[in-house]
Amino acid sequence: MATFSETHGAVTGGPRGLLRLEGLLVLGAATTAYALLDDASWKVFFLFFFVPDISLLAYLIGKKAGAFFYNASHFYGAPIIAGFVLWYLDQSDSLYFVLIWIAHIGFDRALGYGLKYDSGFKFTHLGRIGR
């Protein structure tokens, strides 16, 4: 996996702001779609909203494992693939969780928590966290 450096590997300037805005828009779109579903439960939404952050426990193993598992659960492709699989298996009742997962990723991106580099949790494609 790649490592982070202060001059390479992170989006800066206007594109960084656009990516964070994009995250906010994804959060809004996924939350709105969830609200429009029949029988959408806000208790379920808030109960499962931070489930993808369980991947942070992999940082107890090490930086590489932490980055791998965090990225695997915070990559938009993962819930999209899960959604297609659930749809194909006729498990559309579980699509609630896909929208919650997508909303969570958008939330993280809006806050500036990007995909991680092996260098440590603070080092993301959206720049260093905590400057």
Task: Give pLDDT tens digits for 8-20.
Answer: 578 888 989 999 9
pLDDT band at 107 (very low <50, low <70, confident <90, very high): very high
Q: What is the DSSP string of 16-49?
A: HHHHHHHHHHHHHHHHHHHHHSTT--HHHHHHHT
Per-residue model confidence (pLDDT) at position 93 = 83
**109: in domain:** yes
Give this prediction's pTM. Answer: 0.90
Per-residue model confidence (pLDDT) at position 8 = 57
d(CA 67, CA 1): 9
**2: in domain:** no
Which residue range is the domain that position 44 belongs to?
13-123
Contact 105, 26 (CB under 8 A): yes
Q: Which of 116, 129, 103, 126 is nearest to 70 (CA)?
A: 116
**118: in domain:** yes
**5: in domain:** no
Tokens of 124: 């993301």
Which whole number is the average pLDDT over 96-106? Answer: 97
Query: Based on the structure, what is the number of domains in the chain?
Result: 1
d(CA 5, CA 8): 5
Per-residue model confidence (pLDDT) at position 66 = 97
**91: in domain:** yes
**79: in domain:** yes
**1: in domain:** no
Per-residue model confidence (pLDDT) at position 73 = 97
**What pairs with residue 127 in β-bridges?**
124
**43: in domain:** yes
